[in-house]
């Protein structure tokens, strides 16, 4: 029977023990293993992982700051080139306006000269025409006196029944 007691107590001890994590007799060993693994992880992170991550972060920050510096430098260069282009454009615009003003004044001078020549030609033609008109008017006025004398002679002949003498007609012409 003694074997029965040993057999019956063994399963009972095993069943009552439960999980070893919650058994106080195992805690000192678990704490030592926990501290050992914890210290190993801390040392690994401190000696290997953190420097690599820190180095990567530093390298990334250096690259970003370098890129920003390059971008600022390129922006400054672009602004300088834009200012130079604006100055060149302003100079070109001023030169173009100056050339246009010179061309306008030259064209105005040519138009004025041609206008003066044409006005002189017109004045000459007008003077010739005025002379011709005056000559025609004088000729017409000379004919008017003769026509008036003939008309006066015809009127006298009709009214009096006799023809007017040349002396009477010439006296009528003179008055």
Inside any domain, residue 157: yes
The answer to whether residue 2 is domain-embedded is no
Calpha distance 70→63 (Å, rounded): 10
Instruction: Note whether residue 67 is domain-resident.
Output: yes
In a domain, 26, yes or no: no
Cβ–Cβ < 8 Å for 173, 149: yes
User: Phi and psi dihedrals of 161, rounded to 5?
Assistant: 90, 0
Q: How far is CA 62 from the centre of its chain?
A: 40
Q: Is residue 127 part of a domain?
A: yes
Distances (CA, A) of 84 to 72, 77, 90, 165: 18, 10, 10, 105
Total structural domains in the chain? 1
Q: Does residue 24 form part of some domain?
A: no
Question: pLDDT, tens digit, for every residue of 109-163?
Answer: 999 999 999 999 999 999 999 999 998 888 888 778 778 778 888 888 888 888 8
Domain hosting 85: range is 35-174
How does pLDDT run across 33-63, given as a tens digit for each residue? Answer: 999 999 999 999 999 988 888 888 889 999 9
């Amino acid at each position: 029977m003694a074997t029965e007691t040993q057999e019956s107590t063994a399963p009972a001890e095993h069943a009552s023990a439960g999980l070893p994590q919650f058994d106080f007799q195992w805690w000192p060993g678990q704490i030592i293993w926990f501290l050992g693994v914890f210290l190993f992880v801390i040392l690994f992170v401190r000696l290997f992982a953190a420097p690599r991550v820190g180095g990567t972060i530093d390298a990334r920050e250096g690259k970003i700051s370098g890129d920003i510096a390059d971008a600022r430098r390129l922006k400054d260069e672009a602004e300088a080139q834009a200012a130079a282009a604006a100055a060149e454009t302003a100079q070109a615009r001023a030169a173009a306006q100056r050339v246009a003003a010179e061309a306008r004044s030259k064209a105005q001078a040519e138009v004025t000269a041609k206008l003066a020549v044409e006005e002189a030609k017109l004045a000459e033609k007008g003077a010739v025409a005025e002379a011709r008109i005056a000559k025609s008017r004088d000729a017409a006025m000379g004919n008017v006196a003769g026509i008036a004398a003939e008309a006066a002679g015809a009127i006298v002949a009709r009214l009096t029944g006799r023809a007017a003498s040349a002396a009477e007609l010439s006296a009528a012409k003179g008055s």
